[in-house]
Amino acid sequence: MKYKKTAPIGVFDSGVGGLTVAREIMRNLPHEKIVYFGDTARVPYGSKSKETILRYSRQIVRFLQTQEVKAIVVACNTASALALETISEEIDIPIIGVVKPGAKVAAQTTRNKKIGLIGTRATVKSDLYRKTIQAENPEIEVIGQPCPLFVPLVEEGWLKDPVTIEVAKRYLAPLLEKDIDTLILGCTHYPLLRSTLKTLVGDEVTLVNPAYETAKELQRLLKEQGMENEIHVDEEFPYRFFVSDEEECFQEFANSILPYNVKRTEQINIEEF
């Protein structure tokens, strides 16, 4: 199916974390419009089964299709790991996730072939990062570390709080003991902790932000498919935001991290899709 170049990009996440991906798209693809959906009623995804994540993701994709998006970004590591492959075979819209772009850059970045991965339990358990990295270079060792407390700490706004620093130290200790030289921020919330994490791991460890790498991958995809929007976006609302619950909390968080003033967020019943 052929879509208009001026059609928006669909972006979805389990909640607010995917806004870090939307932020990178806004910065790197300023001519593109975005329809963002945050599944705030059913967050977190990281502790749910593959079957549940797949059902949720299908519902969200159906909603985004009603918005006539020309491409979809799964801005959630858990959904990228557990649902992306299946959904990509079910729809005729280009769809990418956040795992593979970050994994490929990490494989190219490491010098000592020891990569640390922090993420939700589901993302780490899925093993997709390791499989993708070792497809690039089978000699690379990937050491995963679930960090379930990071998401609530980020959403509380405790980015540099002593509690967050102490929790981060405990999560990172096993990875640093393994002498990693590259660390993948394998959850879309984690780029907001970047400066705190960088201080703790030091200059010898390179941080890989899949949100940025995904925006660059989207840019390449649109160019290859001849789908780039070359017209300057002058609409009042080039970026539209939808959630399944708590639109006011979402909007407040969005306005704290996006280079754009979110004036309106719409709540929808995602179970209808």
CB atoms within 10 A of CB 3: 16
Contact yes or no for 207/198 (Cβ under 8 A): yes
Examine the pLDDT at 241 and tell me if it is beyond 90: yes
Mean pLDDT score across all residues of the chain: 93
Examine the pLDDT at 47 and tell me if it is beyond 60: yes
Which pLDDT belongs to residue 260?
86
For residues 264 and 255, give the distance between their C-alpha atoms in angstroms, rounded to a whole number. Answer: 11
Which of 187, 207, 211, 218 does the annotation list as catalytic? 187
pTM (predicted TM-score): 0.91
167-213 per-position pLDDT tens digit: 999 999 999 999 999 999 999 999 999 999 999 999 999 999 999 99
Examine the pLDDT at 231 and tell me if it is beyond 80: no
Which pLDDT belongs to residue 43?
87
Examine the pLDDT at 10 and tell me if it is beyond 90: yes
Gyration radius of the chain over CA positions: 18
Which pLDDT belongs to residue 233?
65
For residues 241 and 176, give the distance between their C-alpha atoms in angstroms, rounded to a whole number. Answer: 38
Burial status of residue 155 (CB atoms within 10 A of its CB: 0-12, 13-18, 19 or more): middle
Examine the pLDDT at 1 and tell me if it is beyond 60: no
The confidence band for 111, taking pLDDT boundaries of 50, 70 and 90, is very high
Task: Read off the tokens for 245.
Answer: 């619950």
| 147 included as an active-site residue | no
Examine the pLDDT at 243 and tell me if it is beyond 80: yes
Which pLDDT belongs to residue 144?
97
Which pLDDT belongs to residue 272?
95
Which pLDDT belongs to residue 126?
87
Burial pattern 37-67, b for ≥16 Cβ within 10 A else e, equals bbbbebbbbbebeeeebbebbbbbbebbeee
Examine the pLDDT at 235 and tell me if it is beyond 70: no
The arrangement of strands across the sheet holding 141-146 comes to 141-146, 114-119, 182-186, 206-208
Which pLDDT belongs to residue 155?
87
Q: What percentage of the chain reaches a pLDDT higher than 90? A: 83
Burial status of residue 203 (CB atoms within 10 A of its CB: 0-12, 13-18, 19 or more): exposed
| 187 included as an active-site residue | yes
Which of 76, 154, 197, 270 does the annotation list as catalytic? 76
Q: What's phi and psi for 3, nearest 5 deg?
A: -110, 155
150-168 per-position pLDDT tens digit: 999 998 889 999 999 999 9
How confident is the model over 25-29, as a mean pLDDT?
95
